[in-house]
């Protein structure tokens, strides 16, 4: 018989609605799990802000989810993972997973990986969290981090196919291609939506690694290890909480989740 | 003899550091005034968020400035002016000025003005605050509002001369040019930096109206009317408070102010 805690929801949070790409991957892999999602849309983006501020925001996000009784937490935000994960793990007893380790594991799954490019927000690149995690796992890797701060606004505007987006992408990718990368890590939850354009702009032998899918696989592994999986016979529910509601956020929610989000609740943090 | 209140600082706030274009214009026109600036960099941007959230943030900004003893407040943020100014004026006794009325006055200063284009954040366009203020002041005007949400990120990246910026600007401006506008209102504090590129892309007979200069002139008029001007013999100081500090914000501060900002303080709101 499963303990009561196994039927508790998973908590997943992000600075906005981009983390729903992780939710989508989790629902596909672990359909029996209830998911409680928190998007801090009132204070997004995190990527351009200071580590101190990001840590404070992430701490408030985690406290909100713990108060709701979640059994484990996924930090579905690369910037928050980069700056706040160690501190959060130390402070709280609830298991907390980030998006960086799973991405790094996936990038290095191919033993031929030698030259890794990383695109992310400025905050994530500056933190050197990916570069550090990669370097710890394999010596001799050549790693190039490229801050790509204009991609999130372009994705949120849905300018995926616009020539301006291609021009921006070229400006970010050309230096990486020049350096002969064999792997490109999409180190921001918004970027999976750009995969078709990225494939078009990159040489065909560059492998793309996105954090959403790899994070869901890691979560399944951890829940199994901790004996926290929900009963497989049920169908999980999704509950969405955003700190700011607007038509745009609802539209984006639908785009990232690829289905109707149902009722979205307004969350008040730090109460 | 001037009362003590005349030597109190002016409070100017914005969601970020774009409002420093207003500070610069105020310092040029009213060099004796002390200015206390608050930029809510931890929660920027306001332009993409809901009216309710913008009103809550603006209220916290005003309370911070009033607690610091300012004699008058300028809302140097188009989005906050659009959504929160009436409510703020009703709630507080300190004189509070916005950026919209001065801009509208300047746009209509030319009696030949007939077709007005407005570029701004989505929040400002959605509020219809400019459209409404223009329509109230002159009947028969043809008004076209164009949300231009990608301009702030491009300016903040300093991609002013980048071909991608021209492409984005063309996408926003072409529909306005097609409609034969004679005046273009730059209804966001970030946009004055784009004036050279805008002049290049627009027909030569389109007049540009930016809110920073017109706001400073309106402020001088109001301080004179309320007998609140500082003693003209002194040199005003500038004190900068941001809710989040980072290297990028310091760089932007210098770019908007066109000089070194001196020491920047970290502000804690809602305390």
In this predicted model, what pLDDT tens digit does every residue of B206-265 receive, in sequence order?
Answer: 999 988 889 999 999 999 999 999 988 889 999 999 999 988 899 999 989 988 888 999
Query: A237 has which bridge partners?
Result: none
In this structure, CATH architecture of domain B101-211: 3-Layer(aba) Sandwich (3.40)
Nearest CA in chain A to B170: A164
pLDDT at A2: 56
Most A-contacting residue of B39, B40, B44, B50 (CB-CB within 10 A), to test interface:
B50
Please state, in angstroms and rounded to a whole number, the distance separating the CA atoms of residues B103 and B212: 8
**Taking CB atoms and an 8 Å limit, are A42 and B49 in contact across chains?**
yes
Of residues A43, A122, A153, nearest to B42 (C-beta): A43
Q: Using a CB-CB distance cutoff of 8 angstroms, which residues of chain B are in contact with residue A245?
A: 50
Please report, for chain A, the start and end positions of each structural domain, with discontinuous segments joined by +.
Answer: 4-98+213-266, 101-211
**Taking CB atoms and an 8 Å limit, are A153 and B149 in contact across chains?**
yes
Q: Using a CB-CB distance cutoff of 8 angstroms, which residues of chain A are in contact with residue B150?
A: 150, 153-154, 157, 159, 164
CA distance, residue A186 to nearest chain B CA (Å): 20
Report the catalytic residues of B. Answer: 77, 188
Q: What is the edge-to-edge ordering of all strands in the sheet holding B72-75?
A: B96-97, B72-75, B10-14, B35-39, B238-242, B264-266
Average pLDDT over residues B176-204: 95
Question: C-alpha angle B217/B186/B207, rounded to 5°?
Answer: 85
Q: Catalytic: which of A22, A23, A35, A77?
A: A77
The helix/strand/coil state of A83 is helix
pLDDT single digits (tens) A66-102: 999 999 999 999 999 999 999 999 999 999 999 999 9
pLDDT single digits (tens) A205-246: 999 998 888 999 999 999 999 999 998 888 999 999 999 998
**Residue A215: active-site member:** no
The single residue listed with the structure tokens 């206390």 is B36
Of residues A150, A244, A248, nearest to B53 (C-beta): A244
Q: Is the pLDDT of residue A177 over 70?
A: yes
**Taking CB atoms and an 8 Å limit, are B48 and A246 in contact across chains?**
yes
Q: Give the pLDDT band of residue A271 (cuts 50, 70, 90).
A: low
Q: Using a CB-CB distance cutoff of 8 angstroms, which residues of chain B are in contact with residue A43?
A: 42-43
Same fold, B4-98+213-266 and B101-211: yes
CATH level 3 topology of A4-98+213-266: Rossmann fold (3.40.50)
**Taking CB atoms and an 8 Å limit, are A167 and B164 in contact across chains?**
yes
Q: Give the pLDDT band of residue B1 (cuts 50, 70, 90).
A: very low
ipTM strictly over 0.85? no
**Taking CB atoms and an 8 Å limit, are B164 and A164 in contact across chains?**
yes
**Taking CB atoms and an 8 Å limit, are A49 and B246 in contact across chains?**
yes
pLDDT at A1: 47
Q: Is the dihedral of CA B254, B257, B258, B264 positive or negative?
A: negative
């Amino acid at each position: 018989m499963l303990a009561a805690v196994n039927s508790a929801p998973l908590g997943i949070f992000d600075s906005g609605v981009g983390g729903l790409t992780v939710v989508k991957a989790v629902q596909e892999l672990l359909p029996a799990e209830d998911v409680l999602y928190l998007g801090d849309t009132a204070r997004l983006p995190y990527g351009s802000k200071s580590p101190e501020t990001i840590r404070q925001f992430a701490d408030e996000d985690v406290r909100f989810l713990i108060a709701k009784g979640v059994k484990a937490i996924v930090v579905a935000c690369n910037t928050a993972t980069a700056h706040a994960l160690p501190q959060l793990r130390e402070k709280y007893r609830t298991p907390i997973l980030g998006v960086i380790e799973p991405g790094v594991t996936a990038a290095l799954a191919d033993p031929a990986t030698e030259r890794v490019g990383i695109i992310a927000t400025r905050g994530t690149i500056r933190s050197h969290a990916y570069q550090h995690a990669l370097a710890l796992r394999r010596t001799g890797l050549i790693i190039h981090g490229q801050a790509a701060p204009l991609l999130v606004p372009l994705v949120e505007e849905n300018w995926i196919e616009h020539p301006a987006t291609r021009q921006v992408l070229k400006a970010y990718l050309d230096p990486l291609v020049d350096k002969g990368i064999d792997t490109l890590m999409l180190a921001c939850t918004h970027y999976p939506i750009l995969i078709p354009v990225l494939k078009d702009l990159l040489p065909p032998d560059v492998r793309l690694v996105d954090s959403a899918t790899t994070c869901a696989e890691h979560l399944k592994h951890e829940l199994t290890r901790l004996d926290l999986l929900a009963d497989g016979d049920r169908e999980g529910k999704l509950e969405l909480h955003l700190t700011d509601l607007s038509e745009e956020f609802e539209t984006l929610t639908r785009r990232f989740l690829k289905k109707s989000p149902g009722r979205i609740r307004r969350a008040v943090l730090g109460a």
